[in-house]
C-alpha cells in the first residue's frame, strides 16, 4: 500500500508565469494589430497634413487649444525631442485645418 502525503504541495511562483505558444501567438497578434492601427492612423494624418501644407494651408493640433480657445504660446505636453524624432502625428490629433492660401489671409 502506497501512502499519499496529506499536506498540500506549494507551487513555485514561476509556474504562474508560464504561457503556452498559442497564448503567446494571441498576445503578439493583439499587440501587432494595435500598433499597426496606430501607425496607419498617424501615416494617414501625416499625408493629410502634408497635402494641406503643399496647398498653402495650415494645421493646428489639439495642444494649440485650451477650452476651445487658441493659445499661440501653448507648449505640447510631449517633450520636444520626442516630437522631433517621432513626429506630432503620433502624439496629437488635428484640431483645425485652414485650407486658405497664406497670402489670401
pLDDT (mean) for 31-35: 96
Is 82 a residue whose pLDDT tops 70?
yes
Is 55 a residue whose pLDDT tops 80?
yes
Give the predicted TM-score (pTM) of the model. Answer: 0.66
The confidence score (pLDDT) of residue 66 equals: 67
Q: Give the confidence band of 50 by pLDDT, cuts at 50, 70, 90.
A: very high
The confidence score (pLDDT) of residue 77 equals: 74
Nearest Cα neighbor of 101 from 51, 45, 53, 56 is 56
Amino acid at each position: 500500500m502506497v501512502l499519499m502525503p496529506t499536506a498540500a504541495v506549494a507551487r513555485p511562483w514561476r509556474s504562474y508565469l508560464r504561457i503556452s505558444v498559442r497564448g503567446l501567438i494571441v498576445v503578439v497578434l493583439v499587440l501587432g494589430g494595435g500598433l499597426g492601427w496606430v501607425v496607419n492612423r498617424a501615416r494617414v494624418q501625416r499625408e493629410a497634413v502634408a497635402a494641406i501644407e503643399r496647398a498653402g494651408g495650415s494645421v493646428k493640433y489639439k495642444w494649440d487649444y485650451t477650452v476651445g480657445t487658441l493659445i499661440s504660446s501653448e507648449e505640447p505636453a510631449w517633450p520636444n525631442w520626442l516630437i522631433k524624432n517621432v513626429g506630432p502625428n503620433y502624439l496629437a490629433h488635428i484640431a483645425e485645418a485652414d485650407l486658405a492660401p497664406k497670402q489670401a489671409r
